[in-house]
Structure formats: structure tokens, C-alpha cells
Amino acid sequence: MSNRLTKIYTRTGDNGTTELSNHKRVNKSDTRIEAMGDIDELNSIIGLLRADDIPNNISSYLLNIQHRLFDIGAELAIPGNALISPESIEKLEELIDNFNSDLPALKEFVLPGGSLPASICHVARTVCRRSERTLVRLAQNESLNTETISYINRLSDLLFVFARTLNQKDGNKEVLWDSERLKNSI
């Protein structure tokens, strides 16, 4: 970072606009700004997850992902910038395969929940999916690194696998969707 932030507020956004890193001012309701906010929210939830008692290897992977999410924020702040590569996606796929190999096969959908860390991970997964939808909407109107959308798509899969792994680690049984349940309940 070349400039140190010595003053946090600038008052330049009081009119409902914000400045991208290329010095272009855009409306704060712009899809690009919405995508940046979604990625920031996702990064914050992953930080919350890392603050809990989770295995060191998962925490370390999540820290790397937080840095990668900052790269995505930089891509969004500088239109035309591309920092996410196919190798980043391949690394996520390797993690998914490695962690998923230790989990029981699924025959039903998993309801979000279980341990607190797994539940936070499920929240991160849903925010990740929203981020992906926002990025897709942005890509319909503007140029965007296609690898970024793939990365976020794979990340949501990894977060699902991490949630299952965290439940398994904490001895929590996953709650599976029961399509018959409502027939016999409220």
C-alpha cells in the first residue's frame, strides 16, 4: 500500500458516490460497489469463524482465503485488474477433495447448523453464494475476470465441506433434510 491512511473520513462520499482506485467516481448503489461490499462481508464472516476454536489447518487455509478475498476487492476497485488465477481455483478444488474424502457420503441435503463454528461457516457459505450472484450480475454489464467468479463458486463449495468437517470434529451429527417431516408436524 503506497499511501498510509492517516485520516479515516474524507466527506467525499456524503453525496452518495465513492471513488474507485482508478479515480472514477461511481454511485454507492453501483453493482461493482455492491460486489465489493459482499466480498468484504464474506471476509468479515470468515474472520469471525477464525476467531472461534477451529482446527489450525482450517484456520490457516481461511487466512489465505481472506488474503485472496482482498485480491478480489482490488480487482473490483480497479476495473480490468485480474489477480485471481486458475491456480487459485485448483488449490480450492484440492482442498475440497482432501477434506471431503474424510466425510461420509451424502444421501440427503444438509440443514445449516450443528456446532457454532459449523453454523458460522454455513453463514459464510450463503454470503459467498450471494457474492457470486452479485459478481455474475456485474459481469453481465462490465468486464470482469471470469476466474474470480469461478473462485467464489468453488469457495462456497469449500465452505460447505468445512462446515461438515467442523461438525464432524465437534462430534455433532449433521441434521439432514427430511422431506417427510412436515407431513407429521406443524
Alpha helices in the chain (DSSP H): 31-51, 56-77, 86-100, 116-139, 146-169
Report how far residue 118's alpha carbon sits from residue 168's, in angstroms, rounded to the nearest whole number.
Answer: 9
The ranges assigned to domains in the chain are: 28-100+111-173
pLDDT value for 104: 85
pLDDT value for 96: 98
pLDDT value for 87: 97
Report how far residue 164's alpha carbon sits from residue 174's, in angstroms, rounded to the nearest whole number.
Answer: 7
The 3-state DSSP class for residue 183 equals helix
Residues near 176 by beta carbon (within 8 Å), at least 6 away in sequence:
107, 108, 109, 110, 111
pLDDT value for 105: 85
**Distance spanning both ends of the chain, measured CA to CA:** 56
pLDDT value for 54: 95
pLDDT value for 186: 59
Superfamily of domain 28-100+111-173: Cobalamin adenosyltransferase-like (1.20.1200.10)
Cα torsion angle, 40, 134, 99, 54, sign: positive
Question: Can you state the angle between helices 31-51 and 56-77, rounded to 10 degrees?
Answer: 160
The 3-state DSSP class for residue 30 equals coil
Amino acid present at 167: N
Report how far residue 90's alpha carbon sits from residue 112's, in angstroms, rounded to the nearest whole number.
Answer: 26
In this prediction, what percent of the chain has a pLDDT beyond 90? 61
pLDDT value for 130: 98
Residue numbers in the chain where pLDDT is lower than 50: 1
